[in-house]
Structure formats: structure tokens, C-alpha cells
């Protein structure tokens, strides 16, 4: 039987502010010091002096997080609006990719980018073309690409067998996590020895010619080394839902050509390999992870022109080593951590921006533009880059002052974007009507190490300092305050404070008042791009900033019922957008946005065999310059899931996801919003079908609902189609 967590994502405690025994060191090493604080479940200081400690006999019933402050704290007492998703939750919902998991978080919607259908994690309506406003961490280490500020444009999905748990903060996190913890923070905690019970091997197969397999093992050596290892592989042709028109259809209509490949299907195939190794001995820990993405197809086409040829690849490596120095002085512990991140974008097959036969006005004709220049092989662009990032972080906790838990940290970051390469068969001419592509006289040409390359090679350094105090003001009051200073080599410095007042209102009710400021660092492309026909950099950019205010309340009504509600308001300044000019679209700090809304979560456990979870989220984000909705995100979302153990070793799950209509951006000429949709998924699992063999059947979108997400600039008029009904089967053998 699946071990089912008793409490929902808002947590549970028997009574407020009780003095408890120390928490055990769940993972005895490592604060997530990639940005200066602990990972979602790695508090090296053990939370032993937490003002919200939990009796050991209650630990299995309470979800805790250290993502909010670095101290392990019950979710309802955490100094943020947070969600914890365990491995058991992931199994229950029948997820095969992290995007399916994150879609269940209230206030978070997963949209799609035109860049290889890369996911956009849209928190509370805060969205943009490449989605750099959401920070993703893997074991506390950012996986942010310096090139574009997101997770990279060749993400290729992320499978879930390597994941122990996922913790999410909805709202700002820069006071702890620094850059890009703007709209929200997603921390993926991978499996270690404690999360793996023996050895398991499994296979999955299903729709779209999907085939996957994994093996995981955890053990302790005779030298007391705890070792956890997971290897996962998947190949899929991907869904090929049809689009009737693309941007080339418009060019054909304008210029009298017939080059478009529409109607045709989107291209979403990918091969992926994920590996995680975790080695721990006492207070020393070493982790390494690898994510290889190959044959990543281009979705709707990089330029929203269908491209069944182009394929990209990416190699990502995360590694870190940390050590906890205990009792350096009375009540004073110190943890050091060094980490390294490597990321690439590679072209496996030529990326065709526009198909063979496309034609553009020929500016070399007389008079200019009187005839068309035809690209017989299509318009081809092959951008590649590599990057390395290294971080060293030092953090300490001091518990020598009564009723205070003082955390201080500092760190240094170095990043290098190098080997930026590109081959292309076009030149860019900037005209009053916009950029026009012209055939390059030399045909497909390697323009690496020239002024024509899409991105210059750049490095970036930064350092930070932060301080945070968790102060138990009274038996039922806690005040968390903190501030972080970051200094960057390429745009200057920034200061981001936070404050959280937490009140245990009654034995069953907790109320929280939260404030935080966050920033988003301009990407290398936004600062320095000089040869991109769509977007040009501006070295004078300031970081985007956001101030967020939240009021949250949670109540454990009785043993069966628990709910939480939170309201939020935010204001964004210096939002970066690309402004048309005679020289192209240039990045500028011109945007101001405000947003407001709320989220409601409910859990009902009528029996030990049945669990019901539901949440609702509302947001209204406004562009202050136009006084119109930002759009490209749902204003309303509803999610529900039932988990039922209906006989010994049989479990079923039914989940329903309603995504409300999504308005258009102010710059979008399409007046009709993206329709709302409802998807229904069913999962059936049987343990010990035969001895030690488990089997799972998963049906996604069982009623074959038509699902589309907003297209980037309207190049796909009918928007991005998502998968219809799909079926997967999975078996796992436990050795």
C-alpha cells in the first residue's frame, strides 16, 4: 500500500508554539547555499532550536519545509506560502514528468514557449516569453541559464523517478535565494540513501511510442558511506497535435508563396537520460547529477513556423560538496558548500526558422523590395553555447541568544558563457517596417567569433551577504526578518528585505502576514545581444523588482478537515520588455505591473482509505502602462484529486484540472481569449501483482479534451495544441 501522508500541503501541528524535542537531522548535511539557505528538506543545523519544533512521535504526520527560512518548520508556521509534494503524492497522481506535478500547485500554471515547447512556470499571472521570473533549484543549486535567464531553451522535460520531493514557494524569495526568486521558487530534492528502500528496476511504455526504464538503489557500505543512485532513461516521439496555420502561412499570403508546412503537427519528440548519485558520510556530502537531452524537436518551430527537421540537444551537470562544522563555538554551527553547474545548447539537426521556398522582399533589388528573394533551402539558424557556473557558499546559525535563531551567510558566484557559435544563411536588415531577412551571399556560413553571432561570449561574477533572524516574540508569536545584499559585475547591486509575522491564533488556527522584495537579474541576452533579429540587448538595464504582500490563514478544523486561504498583492517595477526602434527591438526597463488574488486549499480525510484534495486559485495581473490585463495566464484555476485504497494493495486516483480562459496580451491583435478546459486523469495501481512486482496504469486526459495554451506572438493563430488522450503502463520490481 502507498504510504499516504496524513497532512496536506499546509501542514499540521497539534498545538501552537509548544517547546518540543529537537527534530532529527533528516538529511544531516547541507544547506541549499546556492543562494544562501537550506534546501527543501536539508537543514544541516537540524532545526534543533526551531521555535516550531515537533514531537518525534508527530513527525510522520507533519509536512515540514526549510525552503522558507532555512529552518525546518511545519508548513502552516512557515514564513512563506509554500507547498510540499512528496514522492508518494507523485505516485498517487500518476505523473511521468515534473510539469504534471507542478500543475497541481495552486497559483502555478504551466504554459509553453515557442522554444522547443519549453515549459513556462507562471506564478500568479507573472509571465513573459522565456519565463525568467521563476527560479528552479535542484538540491538548492540554481539551474538558471545565464544566456536567457530561464532553465534553458532546450529543457526537454524532467522525469520523476530521481525526485524525492518538490517544494514550492509562491511569492518572492530573493532575501534568501537571490536573483530570479521573483514570482516563485521551485526546489527539486533528489533521492538519497534514505529515500531508496533497497533496489528497484522498472519499465514504462505508452502513447506516442514512449518507452522508459529506470533503476535505483540505496545502501550503506561497511565504512558507513550512505550511497543513493538513480538512473532513468526515456524516449518518445511526442504528441503531434495539428495546427492549421503558422507564421509562414501569413508570409505566404503576403508574398504569394506556398512554403508553409501547415496544416501539420507540432514536433515534440525527445530522448532523455537522468542520473543522480548521492554519497554521504557523517557531516560530509557529495552529490552529482546529469541530465542529457537529445533529439529535442522544436515544438511549433523556433519562429512559430513548423519545423519537422530541427533537433537540439543539451547536457546539464550539477555537482556539489558540503561539510558541516558543528559547534565551532557554543551554539554556533557553520556549513560550507562548493557547487558546479554545466549547461549546453547544441544543434543536432539544422534548425529551420522558415521552410524551403519562403521569400522575403529583396533589398538589393532596384528599387529595394520590388522583388522577392527566395530561400530555396529555407532560412536556417543554428545557435549553440556552453556555460559553466561555480559557487562557493558559507552559512552559519547562531543559537546563543534566547528566543532567537540567527542565520548569517555569504557567497560568491562565477559564470562563464562561452563557445557561443552559430551558422546561418541569412543577414538581418533593419527597416522602418521591422527587421527583414536577406539571403547571405555565401549561403550557410559559420559566423562564430564574429559580430554576427547571436550572443557574445561573456562572464559574470557576483557576491552576496545575508542575515536573517527568527525571533519568538511570545508564546504564540514569531517574527522573521531578513535582508540580502547582492552585487553583480555587469549591472550593479541590489538589496532585498523580507518580514513575516506569524501568529498561532488558536490551537487550530495560524495567521501569517508576509512581506518580501525580490529581483530578477537581466540575462546576458537582454544585456548584450547585438545580432539577434528579434531582440537586442541594452547594457544599461536595471534588474526587475517586485514587492509582495500576503495574508494567510490555515485551520485544522478536526481530524478529517483542514483548509488554508491566502490573499496577495504585488507591484512590479522596471519590468524588462523589448521596444521597437529603427535598430531593432531593444530591451528597456519600461514595464510596471500589479497583481492581486488569492488561493484556497482543502483536504478531507474521511477514512484511512480515502483522501480528497482540492484547491482554487484566482489572480488578476494588470499592465499599468495600458491598464489592461497582462494575459497569457488563467485568471481562475481549480484542481481536485481523490486517492482511494479500495482493497488490500490496490490504489486508485482520479484528478480533475480546470484551467480558466486566458486573456490575450495587450500587444496581441487576437481579441478572443484562449478557451478554458478540463482534463481528467485516472491512475490504477496494484502492489505485489506477483511477489515484489508492482504495476500501474495511467490514463491522461481520459475524455480527450481539446487543450491549447497561448502562442507566443500569434504566429500560430489557433495557439499551441497539447496532447489528447494518452495511456501508459508501468511495472516495477523490488529486489
Nearest to 350 by CA among 299, 307, 303: 307
Q: For the residues of 331-350, what is the DSSP string, one character each?
A: TEEEEEEEEEEEEEEEEEE-
Grid coordinates of 283: 557531516
Residue 249 CA: distances (Å) to CA of 93, 192, 652, 671, 718: 40, 51, 46, 20, 12
Nearest to 599 by CA among 654, 655, 548, 554: 554
Q: What is the domain partition of the chain in residue ranges?
A: 56-734
Which pTM was predicted?
0.91
Nearest to 613 by CA among 87, 85, 200: 85
What pLDDT score was predicted for residue 93?
Answer: 95
Nearest to 530 by CA among 591, 460, 461, 458: 458
- The phi and psi torsions of 9 (rounded to 5 degrees) equal -70, -10
Given a contact cutoff of 8 angstroms between Cβ atoms, the answer to whether 167 and 187 are in contact is yes
Q: 56-734 is classed in which CATH architecture?
A: Beta Barrel (2.40)
Other CB atoms within a 10 A radius of the CB of residue 510 amount to 27
What pLDDT score was predicted for residue 207?
Answer: 98
Distance CA 141, CA 262 (A): 41
What pLDDT score was predicted for residue 155?
Answer: 94
Angle at 287 between CA 295 and CA 339, to 5 degrees: 90
Distance CA 583, CA 67 (A): 44
The radius of gyration computed from the CA coordinates of the chain, to the nearest angstrom, equals 25
Angle at 278 between CA 272 and CA 279, to 5 degrees: 150
Grid coordinates of 238: 511526442
What pLDDT score was predicted for residue 7?
Answer: 37
> Regarding beta strands 677-690 and 544-556, do their DSSP bridges make them parallel or antiparallel, or are they unpaired?
unpaired
> What sign results for the dihedral spanned by CA atoms 716, 718, 720, 723?
negative
Nearest to 157 by CA among 274, 34, 309, 302: 274
Q: What is the mean pLDDT of each run of 10 residues along the chain (735 residues)?
A: 36 31 27 31 44 41 78 88 95 96 98 94 94 95 94 93 96 95 96 93 98 97 95 97 96 95 97 98 97 97 95 97 94 95 95 95 91 95 96 95 95 97 92 85 94 94 97 95 97 96 95 97 93 85 97 94 97 91 83 96 95 98 92 96 94 98 89 95 96 96 97 88 98 96
What pLDDT score was predicted for residue 50?
Answer: 41
Grid coordinates of 622: 494588470
What pLDDT score was predicted for residue 62?
Answer: 65
What pLDDT score was predicted for residue 67?
Answer: 86
Helix (H/G/I), strand (E/B), else coil: 95: coil
Other CB atoms within a 10 A radius of the CB of residue 582 amount to 8
Distance CA 695, CA 94 (A): 12
Amino acid at each position: 500500500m502507498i504510504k499516504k501522508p496524513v497532512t496536506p500541503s499546509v501542514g499540521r501541528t497539534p498545538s501552537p508554539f509548544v517547546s518540543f524535542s529537537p527534530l532529527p537531522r533528516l538529511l544531516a548535511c547541507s544547506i541549499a547555499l546556492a543562494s544562501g539557505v537550506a534546501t527543501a528538506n536539508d537543514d544541516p543545523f537540524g532545526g534543533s532550536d526551531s521555535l516550531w519544533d515537533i514531537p518525534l512521535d508527530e513527525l510522520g504526520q507533519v509536512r515540514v519545509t526549510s525552503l522558507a527560512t532555512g529552518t525546518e518548520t511545519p508548513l502552516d508556521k512557515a514564513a512563506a506560502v509554500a507547498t510540499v509534494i512528496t514522492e508518494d503524492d507523485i505516485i498517487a497522481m500518476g505523473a511521468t514528468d515534473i510539469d504534471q506535478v507542478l500543475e497541481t500547485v495552486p497559483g502555478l500554471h504551466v504554459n509553453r514557449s515557442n522554444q522547443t515547447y519549453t515549459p513556462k512556470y507562471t506564478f500568479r499571472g507573472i509571465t513573459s516569453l522565456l519565463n525568467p521570473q521563476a527560479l528552479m533549484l535542484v538540491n538548492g543549486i540554481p539551474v538558471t541559464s545565464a544566456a536567457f535567464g530561464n532553465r534553458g531553451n532546450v529543457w526537454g522535460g524532467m522525469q520523476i523517478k530521481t525526485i524525492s520531493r518538490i517544494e514550492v514557494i509562491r511569492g518572492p524569495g530573493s532575501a534568501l535565494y537571490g536573483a530570479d526568486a521573483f514570482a516563485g521558487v521551485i526546489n527539486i530534492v533528489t533521492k538519497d540513501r534514505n529515500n531508496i528502500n533497497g533496489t528497484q528496476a522498472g519499465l514504462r511504455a505508452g502513447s506516442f511510442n514512449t518507452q522508459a526504464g529506470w533503476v535505483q538503489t540505496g545502501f550503506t557500505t561497511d565504512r558507513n558511506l550512505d550511497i543513493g543512485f538513480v538512473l532513468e532513461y526515456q524516449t518518445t516521439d511526442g504528441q503531434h497535435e495539428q495546427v492549421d496555420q503558422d507564421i509562414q502561412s501569413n508570409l505566404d499570403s503576403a508574398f504569394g508563396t506556398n512554403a508553409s508546412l501547415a496544416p501539420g503537427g507540432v514536433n515534440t519528440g525527445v530522448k532523455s537520460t537522468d542520473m543522480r548519485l548521492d554519497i554521504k558520510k557523517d557531516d560530509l556530502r557529495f552529490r552529482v547529477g546529469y541530465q542529457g537531452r537529445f533529439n529535442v524537436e522544436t515544438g511549433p518551430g523556433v519562429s512559430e513556423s513548423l519545423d519537422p527537421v530541427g533537433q537540439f540537444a543539451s547536457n546539464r551537470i550539477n555537482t556539489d560538496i558540503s561539510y558541516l562544522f558543528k559547534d565551532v563555538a557554543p551554539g554556533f554551527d557553520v556549513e560550507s558548500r562548493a557547487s558546479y553547474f554545466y549547461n549546453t545548447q547544441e544543434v543536432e539537426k539544422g534548425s529551420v526558422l522558415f521552410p524551403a521556398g519562403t521569400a522575403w522582399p529583396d533589398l538589393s533589388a532596384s528599387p529595394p523590395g520590388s522583388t522577392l528573394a527566395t530561400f530555396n533551402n529555407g532560412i536556417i539558424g543554428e545557435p549553440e553555447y556552453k556555460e559553466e557556473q561555480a559557487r562557493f557558499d558559507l552559512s552559519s546559525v547562531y543559537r546563543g541568544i534566547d528566543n532567537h535563531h540567527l542565520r548569517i551567510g555569504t557567497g560568491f558566484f562565477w559564470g562563464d558563457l562561452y563557445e557561443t557559435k552559430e551558422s546561418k544563411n541569412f543577414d538581418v536588415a533593419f527597416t522602418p517596417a521591422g527587421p527583414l531577412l536577406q539571403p547571405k551571399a555565401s549561403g550557410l556560413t559559420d559566423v562564430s567569433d564574429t559580430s554576427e553571432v547571436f550572443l557574445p561570449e561573456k562572464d559574470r561574477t557576483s557576491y552576496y551577504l545575508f542575515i536573517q533572524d527568527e525571533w519568538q516574540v511570545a508564546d504564540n508569536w514569531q517574527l522573521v526578518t531578513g535582508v540580502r545584499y547582492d552585487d553583480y559585475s555587469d549591472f550593479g547591486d541590489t538589496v532585498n528585505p523580507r518580514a513575516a509575522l506569524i501568529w498561532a491564533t488558536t490551537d487550530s488556527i495560524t495567521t501569517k502576514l508576509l512581506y518580501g522584495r525580490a529581483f530578477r537579474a537581466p540575462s546576458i541576452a537582454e544585456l548584450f545581444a547585438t545580432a539577434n533579429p528579434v531582440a537586442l540587448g541594452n547594457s544599461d538595464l536595471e534588474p526587475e523588482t517586485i514587492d509582495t504582500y500576503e495574508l494567510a490563514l490555515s485551520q485544522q478544523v478536526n481530524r478529517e478537515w483542514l483548509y488554508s486561504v491566502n490573499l496577495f498583492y504585488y507591484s512590479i517595477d522596471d519590468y524588462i520588455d523589448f521596444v521597437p526602434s529603427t535598430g531593432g527591438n531593444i530591451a528597456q526597463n519600461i514595464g510596471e505591473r500589479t497583481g492581486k488574488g488569492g488561493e484556497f486549499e482543502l483536504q478531507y480525510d474521511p477514512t484511512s482509505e480515502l483522501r480528497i484534495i482540492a484547491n482554487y486559485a484566482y489572480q488578476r495581473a494588470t499592465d499599468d502602462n495600458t491598464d489592461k490585463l497582462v494575459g497569457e495566464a488563467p485568471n481562475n484555476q481549480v484542481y481536485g484529486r481523490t486517492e482511494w485504497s479500495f482493497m488490500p494493495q490496490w490504489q486508485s486516483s482520479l484528478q480533475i484540472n480546470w484551467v480558466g480562459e486566458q486573456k490575450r496580451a495587450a500587444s496581441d491583435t487576437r481579441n478572443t481569449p484562449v478557451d478554458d478546459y478540463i482534463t481528467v486523469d485516472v491512475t490504477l495501481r496494484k502492489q505485489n501483482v506477483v511477489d515484489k512486482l508492482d504495476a500501474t496504469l495511467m490514463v491522461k486526459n481520459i475524455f480527450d479534451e481539446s487543450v491549447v495554451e497561448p502562442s507566443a506572438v500569434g504566429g500560430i493563430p489557433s495557439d499551441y495544441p497539447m496532447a489528447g488522450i494518452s495511456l501508459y503502463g508501468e511495472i516495477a520490481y523490488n529486489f
